[in-house]
Amino acid sequence: MVEKDEVIKLEIAHGSEYAFSILYDEYVNLLFNYGRQITDQEHLIEDSIQEVFLTIWNGRQNLEYIRSLKAYLMTCFRRSLMHNLKSEKRRSLFQVDIMTKTTEASIEMTIVDSEAVSDRNLKLKEAVSKLGKRQQEVLFLIYHDSLTYEDAAKVMNLSTKTLYNLVYEAMKKLKSLLLKNVIFISFYLLSVIDYKIKF
Amino acid sequence: MKDFQDYTVEELASDQGFIQWVVDPEGENNAYWTRWVNLSPENADKATQAKKLISDIRFNYYAIGDHAKQRIWTAIQFKKNSPNVKHPSHTSRISRYRYAGIAASIAIFLVALYVFWGMLTPNWNEASTAYGEIKKVMLPDSSVVILNANSILRWQSMAPTHGQREVWLTGEAYFDVNKVKQTAGDSPGFRPFVVHLENMEIEVLGTTFNVVHRRENTQVVLNTGKVQLSLPKTAKKIDMLPGDMVEVEGDQQKVSHRKVEPSNYSAWKENKLIFNHQTLEEIATYLEDNYDYEVHIEPDSLKEERFSGSTPADQLEVLFISLESSFNVNVIRDDKSIVIKKKNLSEK
């Protein structure tokens, strides 16, 4: 993946439209999914995806100085999306979903022991809702998109130390639960202004 | 690495190296963590809990729809080569309806852009020929154009049903234009057919004629019917009759108008080259334009010699043999070049 990105980066820097289309195919899903964790306003996500790839293309001469394409794409994307959300001033609701693993076994368990399951779900929901939005986003970047701390810090415009603390605090909270179920978290940002991001 | 002996479960679960090991158990950290886990039962227990914690964190996955994916890509393609186009930006405090309005105008703008862009590039049809190639092209109105070597003819794919028919030409082509009646519009009669060239426009109703546009100069030879040439720079109009030849130089200042045998000028479409009292320099130019040869004539005085004769267009050897015998020259030919050189007196 990383080596492939290196090749793509150089090809795009030399003006290859083909490499550019590969980059798009490679990352459009990742960006969309990331955006969708933050907001359900897909038109804003689409605008930001567009902006990010135009930024890449228009600045392709400087692409070779970028260390990680993935981190760069996500950083630009997040900045653009935050900006779009802010200008839209649309407050999306914080929403936490906790679901049981959708295997046959867990469905069976739900039926047999629905009271216990829902009780546990409730506890999970409670714990997760105590996580801040930033904590949830950090978990997403670190555990879902497998970014390094360094890259995730850049994407979220935080220091690596702050980022580590966010993860650690989140893990401490979650540990208190013995998790037989899978936690599904979808974090919507209550308000982008809370992020205190300056543009 | 540090000693993780005293570390808690949450510290483990937050450790970059440990996370990587959970994600990729066969990765480079494997040896280290396997050893660590085997150090004590406590370690093993902590590792199991931390692993569970990590793997229990799941996020909903939202896949982008194919339509959206294509839509965004198309928009990127539109904008990436036109830096003046602003990205869609949203003003503050807009309601959903307001947004819909903005979205609609963006959509209209994009459609307009698409149409405009479409007129400039992709909705064009193009026929082109390589050196030494001849191609027959049928236009939407069933007029026929025969393209000589090294030429490009372009026309719009969605030609309207009334008004003028238009094509754009560089190189050489023979036109056999159908007379087509107006099917709509205000003006009755026939639909004009217009050939756009770099330095003039040719307007006809239904005729056959040959057009050459090479090296900025244009030559039109009319076989049948009637055509009108317009020279935009001098606002001059020239009416041509069958058998007329008009030559216009690039700057449109020098214009010659005379009678010729028209079939000689379109003989190439029957795979024949007919030269009628033409200078060797003119013949050399023709070979350069149509066959991609570099032609050298030595000495310069030879360039003014005139030659008449015909030759199959795909067998230039025939031409060279008759040139050799007519002017006492050697014609030396390789892939790229032709040298026409006066024979030494001793060779005579």
The residue among A62, A61, A52 whose CA lies nearest residue A23 is A52
**Interface predicted TM-score (ipTM) of this complex, two decimals:** 0.72
* Cis previous bond, B160, omega within 30: no
B97 against B289, higher pLDDT? B289
Identify the residue with better confidence: A160 or B346: A160
Do B115 and B138 sit in the same domain of this protein? no
Q: Is residue A121 part of a domain?
A: yes
Q: Which two tokens stand for residue B107?
A: 């959509």
Residue A98, in any domain of the structure? no
Candidate ranges A66-80, B187-201, B297-311; pick with highest mean pLDDT: A66-80
| 3 state SS of B278 | strand
Query: Which percentage of chain B shows pLDDT scores above 90?
Result: 5
Residues B142 and B216 placed together within one structural domain of the fold: yes
Answer yes or no: do A151 and A187 share one domain: yes
Q: Which of A54, A140, A167 sits opposite B80 (nearest CB)?
A: A54
Optimal mutation site among A58, A106, A171, interface B, most CBs of chain B within 10 A: A171
- For residues A68 and A108, membership in a common domain is answered with no
Inform me whether the pLDDT recorded for A176 exceeds 80.
no
- End of a domain among B99, B120, B141? B120
CB contact under 8 A, B91 and A49: no
B236 located within any domain: yes
Average pLDDT of chain B, as a whole number: 80
Question: Facing residues of B154 across strands?
Answer: B126, B168
Q: Which of B117 and A174 is assigned the larger pLDDT? A: A174
Task: Give the model's pLDDT for residue A190.
Answer: 36
Domain assignment present for residue B140? The answer is yes
Rounded to whole angstroms, how far apart are CA atoms B180 and B159? Answer: 13
B186 and B249: one domain?
A: yes
Judging contacts by C-beta atoms under 8 Å, the chain B residues touching residue A50 are 72, 75-76, 79, 87-88
* pLDDT cut 70: percent of chain B above it: 85
Domain boundary among A32, A60, A88: A88
3-state helix, strand, coil in chain B (%, to 5): 35, 30, 35
Among residues B209, B237, B264, the one where a domain terminates is B264
- A168 near B CB under 8 A: yes
User: Same structural domain for residues A73 and A108?
Assistant: no
Is residue B257, in this structure, part of any structural domain at all?
A: yes
Q: Please tell me the distance in Å from B49's CA to the nearest CA on chain A.
A: 8
pLDDT at A191: 35
How would residue A193 be classed by pLDDT, with cut points 50, 70 and 90?
A: very low
A11 with A78, same domain: the answer is yes
- Of the pLDDT bands very low, low, confident and very high (cuts 50, 70, 90), residue A112 is very low
Q: Of the ranges A154-163, B25-34, B175-184, B267-276, which is most confident? A: A154-163
In a domain, A96, yes or no: no
Query: Which residues constitute the domain of residue A69?
Result: 2-88
Q: Tell whether B40 is covered by a domain.
A: yes
Specify the number of domains making up chain A.
2
The tally of domains found in chain B comes to 4
Q: A93 lies in a domain?
A: no
At a CB cut-off of 8 Å and minimum separation 6, what does A111 contact? Answer: none
Instruction: Return the pLDDT at A186.
Output: 43
Q: Please tell me whether residues B20 and B105 are part of one structural domain.
A: no
Q: Pick from B88, B120, B152: which residue ends a domain?
A: B120
B81-106: average pLDDT: 60
Q: Is residue B184 part of a domain?
A: yes
B245 shares a domain with B137? yes
Which residue range is the domain that position B107 belongs to?
A: 75-120
Q: What is the pLDDT at residue A52?
A: 94
CATH number of the domain to which B307 belongs: 3.55.50.30
**A40 contacts chain B (CB < 8 A):** no
- CATH number of the domain encompassing residue A20: 1.10.1740
Q: Are residues B142 and B255 in the same domain?
A: yes
Helix (H, G, I), strand (E, B) or coil at B348: coil
- The verdict on B196 and B95 lying in the same domain is no
Higher pLDDT, B64 or A195: B64
Q: Which carries the bigger pLDDT value, residue A87 or residue A30?
A: A30
Examine residue B63 and state whether it is found in any structural domain, yes or no: no
CA distance B258 to B202: 17
A104 has a pLDDT exceeding 50: no
Residue A125 has a pLDDT of 57
A144 vs B9, B56, B59: nearest CB: B59
Segment B29-37 shows an average pLDDT of 87
Q: Which CATH number characterizes residue A165's domain?
A: 1.10.10.10
Question: Tokens 């090296």 map to which residue?
Answer: B215
B162 with B109, same domain? no
Please report whether residue B94 resides in a domain.
yes
Give the per-residue pLDDT at A118. 53
Q: Are both B140 and B193 inside the same structural domain?
A: yes
> Across the interface, which of B57, B62, B69 has its CB nearest the CB of A183?
B57
- Which pLDDT tens digit goes with each residue over B42-68? 888 888 888 877 876 767 778 888 888
- Amino acid at residue number B135: K
Report the CATH number at residue B216. Answer: 2.60.120.1440
From the list A81, A58, A53, A48, the residue with the least C-alpha distance to A69 is A53
